[in-house]
Chains A and B, each alone.
Chain A
Amino acid sequence: MRNSRATPEIGTDLFFAKNKSVPISLIPANHRGSLDPTGSPIYVPDNSIQTLSRRDFLKLSSAAAAAGMALPAFLHSPPAAAQSMTSTERELLLMAIDAARAAGADYCDARIIRTQFEAIGAREQMITQVQRTDSFGINLRALVGGSWGFSATQDFSRDAVANMAREAVAIAAANNEVAPSETILAPVDVFPDADWVTPHTIDPFEVPIEDKAALLLRINEEALRVNNVRFSSSSILSVKEERLLATSEGSVIRQTLMRINPDINITAVAPDGSDFQTRGAVVEPAGRGYEYVRGLELAASAQGWAEEAAEKLQAPSVEPGKWDLVLHPSNLWLTIHENIGHPTELDRALGFEANYAGTSFIYPPEDVINKLRMGPPHLQFEGNRTEFGGCATTGWDDEGVPAEAWPIIKDGVFVDYQTTREQAAWISQYTGITRSHGCSCGQNWQTMPFQRMPNVSMLPGEADLSEDDVIGDTERGIYIEGRGSYSIDQQRYNIQFGGQVFWEIRNGRKFRMIRDVAYVGRTPEFWNALDTIGGPGTYYLGASFGDAKGQPIQVNAVSHGCPISLFRDIDIINTS
Chain B
Amino acid sequence: MANNPTQKGLSSDELESLTQRILTMSTADQCRVNISSGWRGYTRVATNRITSAGGADATDITITSVFGKRVASVNTNTLDDDSLRDAVRRAESAARLAPETPEYMPELAQQSYTDSGGYYQSTGELEPLTRAEAAALAIDQAKANDQIAASYMDVQAGSNTVATSNGLFATHASTGVAYTLTSRTVDGLQSGWAGDEANDWNNIESQRIANDAVRKCRDWRKTDLEPGEYTAILEPTAVGMLMLRMMNAFNQRPADEGRSYFSRTGGGNRLGEQLFDERVTIFSDPAYEDAQTAPFTSQGEARERTTWVNNGTLENLSRSRFWADQLGETPLAGPSNLIMAGGNDSLEDMIASTERGVLLTRFWYIRGLNPRIISYTGLTRDGTFLIEDGKISRPVTNFRFNQSLAEMLQNVEMVGPATRVAASENSSVSTPIVVPTLKVGGFNLSSVSDAI
Contacts and interface: CB of A to CB of B under 8 A. Distances in A.
Interface in B379-399: 379, 381, 398
Given A217-B99, A276-B258, A2 B176 contact: yes
- Interface size class, chain A: 35 or more
Interface string B164-202: 000000000111100011101000100101000000000
B98 interface: yes
A213 interface: yes
Nearest to A152: B56
Contacts of B9: 1
Nearest to B103: A126
A154 B78 contact: yes
A272 B266 contact: yes
Contacts of A273: 258, 263-267
Interface string A165-208: 00110111011001101000000000000000000000000001
B96 interface: yes
Given A126-B101, A151-B54, A490-B379, A267 B259 contact: yes
Interface in B409-431: 424-431
A151 B60 CA distance: 18
Given A130-B94, A208-B97, A356-B426, A489 B400 contact: yes
Interface in A6-45: 6-7, 9
Interface string B352-368: 00000000000011111
A132 B94 contact: yes
A317 to B, nearest CB: 12
Contacts of B426: 7, 356, 548, 551-553
Contacts of B370: 575-576
A interface SS class: mixed
Contacts of A136: 77-78
A68 B76 CA distance: 34
Contacts of B365: 487-490
Contact of B53 (A57, A126, A171, A490): A171
A355 interface: yes
A209 interface: yes
Given A171-B128, A272-B265, A493 B135 contact: no
B141 interface: no
Q: How large is the interface on B (under 10, 10 to 19, 20 to 34, 35 or more residues)?
A: 35 or more
B97 A210 contact: yes
A301 interface: no
Contacts of B74: 131-134
A486 interface: yes
Contact of B100 (A126, A347, A496): A126
A217 B99 CA distance: 10
Give the 6 A-B residue pairs with the shortest CB-CB distance, closest first: A150-B54, A1-B158, A133-B75, A354-B150, A491-B451, A489-B451
Interface of A: 1-4, 6-7, 9, 54, 57, 117, 126-128, 130-137, 139, 147-155, 167-168, 170-172, 174-175, 178-179, 181, 208-210, 213-214, 217, 230-231, 267, 269, 272-276, 347, 350-356, 358-359, 361, 363, 446, 448, 450, 485-494, 496, 498, 518, 520, 522, 548, 551-553, 573, 575-576
Given A167-B55, A489-B451, 11 more contacts: A1-B174, A4-B293, A134-B77, A148-B52, A178-B136, A273-B266, A347-B46, A358-B451, A489-B381, A552-B428, A573-B446
